[in-house]
Structure formats: C-alpha cells, structure tokens
C-alpha cells in the first residue's frame, strides 16, 4: 500500500488543510496497514501545521467510507452523480477530520 498527503489547495490561506489518499492492495486489507499508514501521515502533516484532513471517496466504496468514519472522519460534502464506472453513476463523497479538536 501507499499513502499521499498533499496541500488541499496551493494557497497559503488553505495551508491548514491537507488532502490524503490511501491505497492498500486488496490482499492486505483488514491487517491494520491502512490505519498505521494514516496515523503516520497524520503525525507528519500535524508537524507541518495541518489541522484538517480531507479525503474524497467514491460512494460505491462503502468499505473505504466506513474505514475513514471509524477513524473519526465525518462527511462534509458530496458531488452527486459526478463519476461513472462500469456504466454506473456514483457520487464523490468528501470527509473531513479536525485534528486540533479534542477527542
């Protein structure tokens, strides 16, 4: 697997936010790799002054949505029927996690 953390937007006014993406090979799901990787990435971006993590996930990826929700992400936006895969429309769901929030 691998993870990417990048500025949400390339403007200093949004430097508190980082967009993250995780990709774990299906043969290695449910082994704690994704959680470990996300925790590592969170530590790195927090050290750089980031206090909000953002992820965007296909509405068809229920496992990915649940994974992030179980780690404290909450839905903050949705683009309806923005994507199509295998002839099927899907939403793009945005989730956020406030890192400077207690708990």
Q: Per-residue pLDDT tens for 10-35? A: 999 999 999 999 999 999 989 999 99
Q: Per-residue pLDDT tens for 60-101? A: 999 999 999 999 999 999 999 999 999 999 999 999 999 987
Model pTM? 0.90
Cα distance between residue 30 and residue 72, in whole Å: 17
* pLDDT of the residue at 92: 98
Our CA angle for 49, 52, 54, nearest 5°, is 130
Our CA angle for 47, 51, 52, nearest 5°, is 130
Closest by CA to 34, choosing from 25, 19, 20, 24, is 24
């Amino acid at each position: 697997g691998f993870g990417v953390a990048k500025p949400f937007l390339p403007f200093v006014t949004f430097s508190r936010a980082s967009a993250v993406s995780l990709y774990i090979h299906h043969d290695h799901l449910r082994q704690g790799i994704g959680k470990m990787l996300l925790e590592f990435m969170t530590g790195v971006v927090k050290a750089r002054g980031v206090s909000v993590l953002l992820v965007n996930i296909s509405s068809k990826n229920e496992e990915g949505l649940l994974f992030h929700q179980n780690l404290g992400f909450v839905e903050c936006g949705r683009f309806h029927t923005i994507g199509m895969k295998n002839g099927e429309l899907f939403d793009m769901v945005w989730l956020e996690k406030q890192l400077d929030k207690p708990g």
